[in-house]
Amino acid sequence: GNSVKLSNFKGKKVLLAFFPFAFSPVCTDEMSCFQMDMEQFKGKGVQILGISIDSHWANKAFAEKLGVSFPLLSDFNKKTTTDYGVLREDGFANRAYFLIDEKGTIRYKHVMPTPGQKLDNAELLREVRQSR
């Protein structure tokens, strides 16, 4: 796949959502919920980017299976996951959310205590509203 940079989304709010594994139960639920609430996120000018250490091919298959309309990015070399401080000792990404404003500044960050938990979209949308 092509390289994606945050600067590609300058002028847009971005929700960078780190997830542990494509096709795992909680990740499947989470990405499906993002898709169900896509219009609400779009209405607030937010571009969702899912990101995991899975290969490009795994995330492509995962996105196709779920029918998601937002990118699922592969951080196979774990550089971005490490840069954001969410690489777990066991080598995969913790579930974490970063809300980045139009200028590229992180406005909100939440790292889940365990990968088996996720935030509700209602809470993320509330953070989007408060980060104006």
Residues tagged active-site: 27
Residue 109 CB burial class (10 angstroms; 0-12, 13-18, ≥19): middle
Sheet with 96-100, strands from edge to edge, namely: 72-74, 46-52, 13-18, 96-100, 106-111
Long-range (24+ apart) CB contacts under 8 A made by 57-61 are: 58/22, 58/23, 59/22, 60/1, 61/22
